[in-house]
């Protein structure tokens, strides 16, 4: 695409001459990368759904963690943690903090239930203040992430806000042993898992189609219209270096 054909509203409002000058003075390092939060959110959603459904009383017993922890530790832990590290490379501070923190939590959750499975420790059936403080810390940091996400899009804000509330409810349950808080926390965490699934699916569809399919509620209203292109990339003329999108 010739830079002479670029209208002023494209490329941040630059004229064709300004675009040409930008290209002549810029070093471009090409590295193909997908949005790491697609993996991170799907990993979080899967692990949270399984554990939260048990908390809400959909299935299983208090010892179901023995069967759930391998999935939670790998899907929600390992997958989400590496997504957090890739988010660092993608310069996404919110995703780095949230995926890194929750990925580490699910790995720790897996370690805890591994110790239970090998009968190294026995978890108390009700009040468990040590685990309560785990969730208390998670709730506070996740709430900070939700506040930051308010500047990005409503989908991510909804995921983190419900996650912070669900974590707070779980913290109250483990600190007090009052069963109603466990079920309430499970239901709110289920809502967070469903919202995370929607958000990850919307990001994946946009990356595959090159346009908005499911809106994410960006502050820029133009980005919320299905069928519209959220980003107008600066494209290089034929013959110049580039990377192929996809595999």
> Residue 2 falls within a domain, yes or no?
no
Q: What domain range includes position 204?
A: 36-223
pLDDT band at 10 (very low <50, low <70, confident <90, very high): very low
Q: Is residue 31 part of a domain?
A: no
- Give the model's pLDDT for residue 197: 97
For residue 180, tell me if it sits in a domain: yes
245 against 99, higher pLDDT: 99
| In the predicted structure, residue 2 carries a pLDDT above the cut 60 | no
Question: Domain for residue 126, yes or no?
Answer: yes
Q: What is the pLDDT of residues 214-226, one digit of tens each?
A: 999 887 666 677 7
Question: Do the domain assignments include residue 28?
Answer: no
Domain count for the chain: 1
129-149 vs 93-117: helix crossing angle, rounded to 10: 160
Residue with tokens 């110790």: 115
Q: For residues 56 and 204, give the distance between their C-alpha atoms in angstroms, rounded to a whole number.
A: 29
194-209 confidence digits (pLDDT tens): 999 999 999 999 888 8
16, part of any domain = no
pTM: 0.81
228 occurs within a structural domain: no
């Amino acid at each position: 695409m010739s830079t002479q054909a670029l209208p002023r509203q494209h490329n941040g409002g630059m004229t064709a001459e300004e675009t040409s000058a930008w290209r002549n003075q810029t070093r471009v390092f090409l590295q193909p990368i997908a949005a790491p939060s697609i993996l991170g959110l799907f990993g979080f959603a899967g692990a949270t759904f399984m554990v939260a459904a048990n908390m809400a009383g959909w299935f299983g017993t208090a010892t179901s963690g023995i069967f759930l922890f391998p999935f939670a530790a790998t899907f929600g832990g390992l997958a989400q943690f590496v997504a957090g590290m890739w988010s660092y490379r993608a310069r996404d501070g919110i995703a780095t903090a949230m995926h890194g923190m929750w990925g580490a939590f699910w790995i720790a959750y897996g370690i805890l239930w591994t110790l239970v499975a090998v009968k190294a420790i026995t978890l108390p059936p009700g009040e468990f203040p040590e685990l309560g403080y785990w969730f208390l810390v998670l709730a506070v940091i996740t709430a900070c992430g939700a506040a930051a996400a308010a500047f990005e899009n409503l989908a991510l804000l909804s995921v983190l806000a419900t996650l912070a509330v669900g974590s707070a409810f779980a913290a109250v349950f483990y600190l007090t042993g009052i069963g109603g808080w466990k079920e309430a926390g499970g239901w709110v965490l289920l809502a967070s898992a469903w919202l995370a699934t929607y958000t990850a699916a919307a990001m994946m569809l946009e990356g595959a189609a090159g346009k908005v399919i499911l809106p994410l509620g960006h502050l820029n209203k133009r980005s919320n219209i299905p069928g519209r292109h959220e980003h107008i990339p600066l494209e290089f003329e034929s013959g110049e270096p580039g990377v192929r999108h996809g595999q």
